[in-house]
Structure 1
Amino acid sequence: MNLNDWFEKGMSVNEYIGAMTRNKEQMLSIYEKFALKEEDSTRMETLKPRKLRAIVLTEDWCGDALLNNPVLLRIAEAAEMEVRMVLRDQNLELMDQYLTNGTSRAIPIFIFIDQEGNEIGVWGPRAPEVQARVERERAALPDKDAEGFQEKQLAMYKQLAASYQTDASIWQTVANSIMAVLLK
């Protein structure tokens, strides 16, 4: 599997945003509000000579993509990293190489590559701290067979999505997690 080919196949960020039919305003809102701290920008600038690139496996309906993609875009700007978006559902051959826990097609997945197409790091679908929060919230739900489970699950996801859009500390947590992969 040649990652350079997948990179070339991907959409530009502007093409992806232009084609979005769901979560576009919410994603762009995070993008507009989030800025890297000065020290983080400086750290990301050290990556410029490496000319790294990112392949983003994503879909516009995904709540985690709504949160993580705009944070990645700010990091990519500071590192002068070109980003290409690859739709998961149309590219399962690539997605199936990056399954979460070996079984789940969870997104987004960020595949960082060098100019030769060598994988230098993979991130996703969530920062560990965000994953822990999701697991805590899921654990508090009633059994799947219990009356009201679906309503409570829906309310939980709605509340999570709202916090993703407004809580700057979550944005910073995601940024720290992505940067840790890039600075290994």
Structure 2
Amino acid sequence: MTLQEWFNKGLTTEEYLAGMNVNKDEMMGIYSKYTLSSEEKEKLQPVKDKGLKVIVLTEDWCGDAMLNNPVLLKIAEEVGIEVRFILRDSNLELMDQYLTNGTSRAIPIFVFLNNEGEEVAVWGPRAPKLQELVISERSKLPNAEADDFKDEQAAMYKRLTASYQEDENHWHTVADSIIEKLV
């Protein structure tokens, strides 16, 4: 299938939200609280009304999607980008074209298309500054064979998830990273 065909197959935002069973309230909480800064809006002007579309490879259980998808939706609203969601786990044919480091099915992945349905940019699964944060947090975990590893790992993910929902600096970090890919 072409990217345009994948886009056409995708779920609208409303359809995706209606099907969400995990992280919906958390994602919508970020969406309701996040506003693009005037600087972010200014940086986006070159792509405004260019007819861009974006395929969002995602799943509702993903913490990074919980953070990144609402920021993307705000950007899309600002500049007139059509958004379609493709669920990773039932669309591995597309997902496997966008592996992180050539091996990982990490999500979300944003595939931006032009008017002709051609790929113009790919973003994801995480803003570089947030990747540094996650790596730093993981480095503090005990050895994977340690008795308390699973508990410590769960606590780390809980802390990260809470910070994703509460720290507006994270939201702007994501926006800046996406904008950098688009302009």
Q: Could you say which residue in structure 1 is the equivalent of 2:179?
A: 179
Q: Encode CA deviations 1:15-56: one digit per residue, 9 max, x unaligned.
A: 100110110000000000000011222332331242101000
Contact 1:21/1:60 (CA < 8 Å) preserved in 2?
yes
2:158 partner amino acid: K
Q: Could you say which residue in structure 1 is the equivalent of 2:51?
A: 51
Query: 1:73 & 1:46 partners in 2: Cα distance?
Result: 18
Q: Could you say which residue in structure 2 is the equivalent of 1:139?
A: 139
Query: 2:48 & 2:70 partners in 1: Cα distance?
Result: 19
Contact 1:98/1:105 (CA < 8 Å) preserved in 2?
yes
Q: Could you say which residue in structure 2 is the equivalent of 1:29?
A: 29
Identity of aligned residues (%): 56
Q: Could you say which residue in structure 1 is the equivalent of 2:150?
A: 150
Q: Could you say which residue in structure 1 is the equivalent of 2:9?
A: 9
Contact 2:96/2:105 (CA < 8 Å) preserved in 1?
yes
1:168 partner amino acid: E
Q: Which runs of 5 or more structure 2 residues have no equivalent in the other structure?
A: none
Q: Could you say which residue in structure 2 is the equivalent of 1:161?
A: 161
Q: Could you say which residue in structure 2 is the equivalent of 1:109?
A: 109
Query: 1:8 & 1:25 partners in 2: Cα distance?
Result: 27
Contact 2:49/2:80 (CA < 8 Å) preserved in 1?
no
Mean Cα deviation higher: 45-54 or 20-29:
45-54
CA RMSD of aligned residues (A): 0.8
Query: 1:73 & 1:45 partners in 2: Cα distance?
Result: 16
Q: Encode CA deviations 1:84-114: one digit per residue, 9 max, x unaligned.
A: 0000001000000000000000000000000
Query: 2:92 & 2:98 partners in 1: Cα distance?
Result: 10
Query: 1:42 & 1:135 partners in 2: Cα distance?
Result: 31
Contact 1:46/1:79 (CA < 8 Å) preserved in 2?
no
How far off its partner does 1:157 sit?
0.3
1:118 partner amino acid: E
| TM-score, length of structure 2 as denominator length | 0.98
**1:62 and 2:28 are equivalent in the alignment:** no
